[in-house]
Homo-oligomer: A and B are copies of this chain.
Amino acid sequence: MELFGRPAHRSAMESGQAPGTLYIAPDAFDTRIRLWHIDDNEVTHIDEPDIETIEQMRDRPGRFWIDIAGFADDARIRAIGELFDLHPMVLADLVNIDRMTKVNALDQQALIIIQALHLSSEEQRPGLGQMGLLLGDNWLLSFRERPDPLIDPVLTRLERPTSRLRSESVDYLACALLNLAVDASFPVVEALADQVDEAEESVMTGRGQGMLGNIHRQRRALITLGRIFWRQRDLMARLLRDEEFFRRETHIYLRDVYDCTVQLMDMVETTRELAASLVEIHLSISANRTNEVMKTLTIMASIFIPLTFIVGIYGMNFEYMPELAQPWGYFAVLGFMAIVAGVLLLWFRRRGWLGNQS
């Protein structure tokens, strides 16, 4: 999960630049621009429109949505920025990948930046994709870091003639996009929770040694996820609190997205606490096991070391050792050693070291 382990290197931006400068990463995704115009429930879709088309559409009555995915073509992005008369800081917030989640009430518009977590299908690894929304009076611009299929469910719904997306205003559309961005996190969190459950079973059945690295990696991921969802929840709470961003009628849908972020936070927090408990329990189980191993060694050594000493005595080569000459000497010593061993075993039993050692 190192992908989002550390926020983008802001310091990589040359400090001599004025704020509001655009930074297009060399590995930025190719830009794909799509436009939808909705008027009287009629949807017009234009793929890769040029600036003039966008301008025409802007001036037609009705609502429209432009989705800009991938930021490699900064010329076109700048052109769109100029067309909509965006402040340089606003465009920089939308395009620069700072891994921040924020909301900003501009004069006539609302700026929302969210980091969408997803489990990329090909690699089965979580990744972050920034989605910026600029919500105008009757239009919506969405800036997405990568041209992934995140928004496809909305497109599917848009094709249905009865969809509420066609009849509601653009803030309902913005809400639907936020919903997708938040919903995409569930598989990631569930995968992590499954991994912690697995680690739990290993620890409980005493096979937890190799799991420690995994648990640490899971905690690392959970720390990062916790921060992301915390910011998302703050964002949604602010959108709900300040009525300037969304219309009152859309709040019932927005609250649904808010509930999702609360649920994500809860899942992450619960899993984190489980993982922390797991490390403690593992340490205790280790200590118990060391104890058990030590007891075995101590019992074996404490019984046989004295006995070995006794047989060593009668292995000495002194010329005058009266016991050696007795015919009963050997058996007397064997008997004495049996008594010694018995006494020691009794003593260990009384200390509770024998019997149930599990």
Contact = CB atoms under 8 A, between A and B. Distances in A.
A263 B16 contact: no
Given A281-B212, A301-B301, A319-B327, A7 B266 contact: yes
Most buried by B among A7, A99, A227, A309: A309
Contacts of A308: 304-305, 308-309, 312
A320 B309 contact: no
Interface string A210-224: 101101100110011
Contacts of A301: 297, 300-302, 305
A48 interface: no
A282 interface: yes
Interface residues of A, number: 116
In terms of DSSP, what is the predominant structure of the interface of chain A? helix
A11 interface: yes
26 contacts: A6-B267, A9-B190, A10-B183, A15-B153, A18-B164, A19-B176, A89-B252, A200-B216, A209-B288, A216-B281, A219-B273, A224-B270, A227-B266, A277-B279, A287-B290, A293-B353, A298-B300, A300-B306, A307-B312, A311-B313, A312-B312, A313-B334, A315-B317, A317-B324, A319-B326, A321-B330
Contacts of A262: 100
B259 A98 contact: yes
Given A252-B87, A274-B220, A305-B308, A19 B288 contact: no
Given A262-B100, A306-B304, A186 B9 contact: yes
A95 to B, nearest CB: 14
A352 B289 CA distance: 11
Given A16-B156, A259-B98, A302 B296 contact: yes
A316 B318 contact: no
A240 to B, nearest CB: 11
Interface string A118-150: 000000000000000000000000000000000
Interface of A: 6-7, 9-11, 14-19, 87, 89-90, 98-100, 102, 104, 152-153, 156-157, 163-165, 176, 179-180, 183, 186-187, 190, 193, 200, 204, 206, 209-210, 212-213, 215-216, 219-220, 223-224, 227, 252-253, 255-256, 259-260, 262-263, 266-267, 269-270, 273-274, 277-291, 293-298, 300-302, 304-309, 311-321, 323-330, 333-334, 352-353, 358
